[in-house]
Structure 1
Amino acid sequence: MLEKHTSDYDQLKEQYIHTIDDQTEKNMLLSQKHEALLQKQDSEIYAATLQERNRIAREIHDNVGHMLSRAILLSGAIRTVNKEESLQEPLRQLTDTLSLAMDNIRTSVHDLHDDSVNLKEVTEELTSSFTFCPITLEYDMPITVPRTIKYAFLSITKEALSNIIKHSNATAVSILMREHPALWQLVIQDNGTLQSPSATEGIGLENMKERIRKLNGTITFSCENGFSIFIAIPKNKKEESDL
């Protein structure tokens, strides 16, 4: 009887362990599905936000911008035909105020457009339209990226791909964009063996250096086993808090 009880106990213990394992696995799967759902919701909200910003920018440009332009032209015409000396200064101030308002509208529309750029989508468009040779993209960035980082990475990626087409005999290109706890990273590599005399001194590369310098980052070029660009930009706490 003792042997039978021991056997039953072992069987019950094994069933219990299996049940715990199954439940743990189910909880992990449920947690993963929940996390994926949250990420999907965040992505949808972000995409909707970008779309709304674009819509607002278009409406401001098409409606308010055109009305201000018309008002500026009318005020200029009135100043031209006006004969009253006492009205010259008020009309000048009116024209200046309308011109200032137009400048502010242009700045606001530009800022809205900048904020509505999705780094991942634009980078994927760049790589999908690059037909010179096979290209891979490893993108490990958050949904929201500071504007300065977005435009620095996009500008440098465009310039790098253009240089590959013009100067390289590469048969493979890879792009890495990654967020680290303290910095943003961009690495662009190709396996080309041709190097122009100005491989590390061209105007395009100098522009890259200047852009990264303004962000207090570092950029290095390597001609070993092809051509590589390594970029690291430290995170700006103020900029991240504005996202």
Structure 2
Amino acid sequence: MDKKVLFTILRYISLVLSLWSSVFLMVSGKSIDICFIALSLIFIINNQIRFFSIPKRNIYFSASILAEAALALIIFQYYGGIIFLLLFSILLDSTIYINNKYITGGLVSLIIIILVVAGQTDFKLQVSSVLSSAAIGALGIYIKEERERKHEAQKLYDKLRISEEELKKAKENLERYASTIEELTLLRERNRISREIHDSVGHSLSTMIIQLSAIEKIADSDGKSASEMAKNLSAFAKDALKSVRAAVRALVPTEFEKYQGILAIEEMIKNFKKLTEVEVIFVLSKERWELNSDQSFVLYRIVQEFLTNSVRHGKADKININLNFYKDSLYMRLKDNGAGCDDIVEGVGLKSIKERAESIGGAVKYLSSKEKGFELNLNLPKVEALISERNL
């Protein structure tokens, strides 16, 4: 049950019992006073207005408590009843809803003084009323502190939510900035390549065209000179070709030439994360050796198939990929947090992965259980990559 509902019920119970005790005494004395009815109505109206209408931190809230204390004292003095029950509501309101500790302390002290000075004539009943009031006051203070802690926790949660939204915006801005930088880098690289081609290839071709025109003109009249010019032009063309090859090689980083399969996998993972918003963590060992074209292709297809299956069938939102290069072998572990299954049935995708791995001497192992995701382990022997000289 909601705490607010519970305390509302307690208020009404105490209100009914307190007034009923006075009514019972009057009925026992065979007298019903109109003034008592009027005071009781004022008592109830003041109590309800304070609880439902007056702001809890308003000065009128404290004034309403004092008024109810005065009414309770008048009803008790003239008509009898149980004073503790008459003061129950204001005791709760003083400790729970008033944040000023001095006002709360003053009101609680006033209630205890009323209980001691104008309380029950029976000493035991008077002591029990004071102790009960102290217990109710302590309970009210505890409830107020718990409510304040809950309020602070809500404020902290709101701040965290705002911070999370700001972090998301910052991430989006960084991604846009990174994309812009990437585009600018590509444009600068293209401009540099165009300048290189213009300065080297363009100059060489222009020179060759001039030489060929000159050879054409003097070929009929002076064959020996034309032959000599053609020979020089051939040597110049060879040097120009060497320059072009050197420029092209300079454009291709050594790391890309050596690890282009891994770079292709990283690029695929990057695009997959953008398209699906699935968290993919790719961890690569520090030590690496060169992959041949078959190995690169198989690894690429296995990762591609695993990513697709994890989202399509497993409904995963997090995937871990570990690629470790050892001295004589390669080990790859792919693990998602998807639905998983207790019985693995090899469909087209899993069979394709297994066949691809076995075609290059590798071995595949699957692990899965219900609600614990799917795991794929691949062991691949090291094979020296075939490095072919590039002929341009």
**Higher RCO (Cα < 8 Å, 6 or more apart):** 1
TM-score range, shorter chain: 0.3 to 0.5
Q: Could you tell me the TM-score, scaled by structure 1's length?
A: 0.47
Q: Which is higher, the Rg of structure 1 or of structure 2?
A: 2
Q: Could you tell me the TM-score, scaled by structure 2's length?
A: 0.32
